[in-house]
Structure 1
Amino acid sequence: MKRTAFTYALSAASILALSSCKMRTPRQESWQNPAFKEYKLGKTLVLATADSESRCMQYEALFVNQLLAYVDAGSLHASEQVTGKIDKDNLERILKANAVETLIVTSVLDGTSRDELVAIGYEAHPYSNDYWGYYNYGYALSANFASVSSYMEYVLETNVYDVKTKKLVWSGRKSIFDDRSDPDNMKIIINAVVHELKRKNMF
């Protein structure tokens, strides 16, 4: 069976890419309140906190769009003229006026600077044409180019509350990275949350 230095280089690059993807796609951590094991989402209001109203509206709209396949849902910023942080009394008024049963709140918890070593290329040690040289050297690979990529990692927490009891039903945390676009990061968080809520039979 014939093997080439290119084959080994391709395999090594593939392994590196897979391990890099694994590192950059952290698994969502979640917790469910034991008192709400049989909980089903009712009419839902989505509230996002961000550094701009437009981002909040965009995130809430994407979230609501996903939820509408399962429950009646609405966006806080789309239905109310909210500027800055909403106060408790105003939020409770909105929840009551719209007969909301479930409140979903997403907020950024923390941001950390990260560095990642990125391999640009690989080389195989030279070997002679006879079978021994091929066997002895053909599989020896080493990285010959590398660079450091810096990015910010943000942790977002999504909490699901039962409006009637005002208690936390479910909480999930997931990381996003600033080298992705805002819509991509929003979709990653929303998809992870909806997938977990489906898995917990909350729809």
Structure 2
Amino acid sequence: MKLIRYLAPLGAVLMAACSTFSVSNQWKDPAWPGPPATNVLVLGITKSDTYRHVFEDTFVAQLQGEGLKAEQSYQQIPAGASSEKLSDVVKATGAQVILTTRLQRVEQKLNVTPSGPAFGGFYGWYGGAWASTPDVTQYDQVTLETTVWDVNTQKVIWSVTTESVGTNNIPQTTQDLAKTLIPKLKADGIIR
């Protein structure tokens, strides 16, 4: 299975995870015939077992809450598993699609908020100089890539990139990501 080549490090994905997500790109295979999947295998791509477990458990719970059958991959697929092992596990789950998420990039950003000039002679200028000092904040912008694969064809049928400001609250971040993506998956007819 060619899916194994996508098992790249995602450790920073949830370590520098995001609190609110915006979708920056989205694609659906227009030739995919469907029907919407009712059985999903969830695969978080990361070197951290903890982050992977949190990610997969959260997505599975959210998908099951929508009435779908969903299963974590970590119980059966070790990180970096061989193609043969991966193929056997996927077949055994009966999943129709595989949902994967991985880190695409982390960029350090600066946000500079300037203030206007002060007037009124030296005393007005002096007080205004303190007030007009710009606020500078540094943050990490995290970009994640989530891909859905059709098990039968082994092809990508849906892909989205999301962006957010990094945070260390992994459980909340993963819930936010699931709440962003699951409605999109439903609206696009990828899942029931």
Q: Does the CA contact (< 8 Å) of 2:21 and 2:177 recur in 1? A: no
Q: Which runs of 4+ in 1 moved over 4 A?
A: 121-126
Question: Matches of 2:153 and 2:119 in 1, distance apart?
Answer: 67
Q: Does the CA contact (< 8 Å) of 1:64 and 1:75 recur in 2? A: yes
Instruction: Pick one of 106, 109, 116 that aligns with 2:104.
Output: 109
**Match runs of 1:61-100 below 5 Å:** 61-68=57-64, 69-77=66-74, 79-80=75-76, 82=78, 84-100=79-95
Unaligned runs of 5+ in 2: 1-19, 121-130
Question: Matches of 1:170 and 1:59 in 2, distance apart?
Answer: 19
Q: Does the CA contact (< 8 Å) of 1:28 and 1:192 recur in 2? A: no
Question: Matches of 1:146 and 1:188 in 2, distance apart?
Answer: 31
Structure 2 CA distance for partners of 1:110 and 1:145, relative to 1, 3 Å: same
Structure 2 CA distance for partners of 1:30 and 1:41, relative to 1, 3 Å: same
Question: Matches of 1:92 and 1:81 in 2, distance apart?
Answer: 10
**Match runs of 1:1-150 below 5 Å:** 26-36=22-32, 38-68=34-64, 69-77=66-74, 79-80=75-76, 82=78, 84-118=79-113, 144-150=132-138
1:165 aligned partner: 153
TM-score by length of 1: 0.70
1:153 is matched by which residue type in structure 2? Answer: Q
Q: Does the CA contact (< 8 Å) of 2:21 and 2:176 recur in 1? A: no
Question: Matches of 1:180 and 1:115 in 2, distance apart?
Answer: 19
Unaligned runs of 5+ in 1: 1-23, 127-142
- Residue 70 of structure 1 deviates from its aligned partner by 3.0
Q: Does the CA contact (< 8 Å) of 1:107 and 1:158 recur in 2? A: yes
2:174 is matched by which residue type in structure 1? Answer: M
Structure 2 CA distance for partners of 1:51 and 1:115, relative to 1, 3 Å: farther
1:155 aligns with 2:143: yes
1:5 aligned partner: none
Structure 2 CA distance for partners of 1:113 and 1:54, relative to 1, 3 Å: same
Identity of aligned residues (%): 21
1:176 aligned partner: 164
Structure 2 CA distance for partners of 1:26 and 1:124, relative to 1, 3 Å: farther
> Residue 51 of structure 1 aligns to a residue in which SS?
coil
Q: Does the CA contact (< 8 Å) of 1:44 and 1:100 recur in 2? A: yes
Higher relative contact order (CA 8 A, sep 6+): 2
Give a deviation string over 1:51-86, Cα, whole Å, max 9, x none.
301100100111011111231000011x2262x322
The structure having more radius of gyration, on CA atoms, is 1
Q: Does the CA contact (< 8 Å) of 1:176 and 1:185 recur in 2? A: no
